[in-house]
Copies of this chain bind each other. A is one copy, B any other.
Amino acid sequence: MEKTDTSSRNSGLRQASAVSAAVLPAESMLSISAVERDTGLSKDVLRMWERRYRFPSPLRDKHGERIYPHDQIAKLRAVKRLMDRGYRPGKIIGLHLDDLNALGTAPAGALEHSTEIQEVLSLIRGHQLQELRQRLNQMLMKQGLLRFVVETVAPLTTAVGEAWVRGEFAVFEEHLYTEQIQGLLRNAITSAQAHSTAPRVLLTSFPTEPHNLGLLMVEAALVVEGATCIPLGTETPAPEIVRAASAHRADIVALSFSAAFPERLAASGLRDLRLALPRNVELWAGGSCVRRLRKAIEGVALVRSLDQLGSMVADWRAVHGPG
């Protein structure tokens, strides 16, 4: 119907012209939905920024709907990337694209890691998937699962995270690393699984906490100790955790919190969960978020480092018997 629609629209009902439109010449223009997809900024945010900061300032198609030129989209992407690293929009949205990219570039302060970790980092950077797999596997074999987790995976994950924050790693490079480690750990966990003994540990995280690596590291450490793990994956609502603990007769519920998780939420969530769980079920919490918590929480054991887990399991067995 429409003859001069030039936008490559995202909207479902209006997408008929998207293909043809996109073939037309000046088509680095996107609709608000497309920009939402590409940048990760919601439509509401895009409109709000326009109102508040006068940026972005999209053109309008003949029907009055926003169309974003590619240069504005590029700037939006740059702003989003910086925001993910902790910058606040009001501070940076006025800057030029070049300045934004300059901000992203690492300031210089290279952190010190062991040579082995440096090597792995450069394999990721070089997109050498095959070699990366081999190298990690080799390290696992040499160190054994527990040392591998504590001395290699944990610092490596931190290093990757920091490199990403500094803009040295692309999103997809971090994704690839996570995926490789996950495969490796899951594999090792299966192999290391002995016949089940007490304690029975339920592993998961709260909603809004999608990071699985921490949980896998804990599972690996626990499996090495001969404990029985009941992994629920990430983001289990608190009432479900309670039901699962009862259904699986868990002795311990262990939760993982990444650095990005808000401290307040962690603390209040743990307190409430503690109240909802039977008294004889222990509640353990670990991860970089928890490590920062100042106050202890009544009835919650804080796991401040992975190599603590062994003695915590031993303590549990000393109190409750070998099961």
Residues of A within 8 A of B (CB): 1-13, 15-16, 18-20, 22-24, 27, 30, 33-34, 37-40, 42, 77, 83, 127, 129-130, 170-172, 175-176, 178-179, 182-183, 186-187, 189-190, 196, 204, 206-208, 210, 230-233, 235-241, 243-244, 247-248, 262-265, 267-269, 271-273, 275-276, 297-298
So how many copies of this chain end up in the complex? 2
By beta carbon, the residue of chain B nearest A74 is B239
A37 with B248: CB separation less than 8 A: no
CA distance A265 to B6 in the complex (A): 14
Query: Would A40 and B265 be within 8 Å (CB), given that A22-B207, A190-B187 are in contact?
Result: no
A19 with B176: CB separation less than 8 A: no
B248 with A175: CB separation less than 8 A: no
**Within the complex, what minimum Cβ distance (angstroms) separates A225 from chain B?**
18
- Top 6 A-B pairs ranked by shortest CB distance? A12-B264, A19-B269, A172-B244, A23-B272, A10-B268, A175-B232
A18 with B271: CB separation less than 8 A: yes
Query: Would A33 and B268 be within 8 Å (CB), given that A237-B22, A238-B38 are in contact?
Result: yes
B19 with A206: CB separation less than 8 A: yes
B207 with A18: CB separation less than 8 A: yes
CA distance A187 to B1 in the complex (A): 34
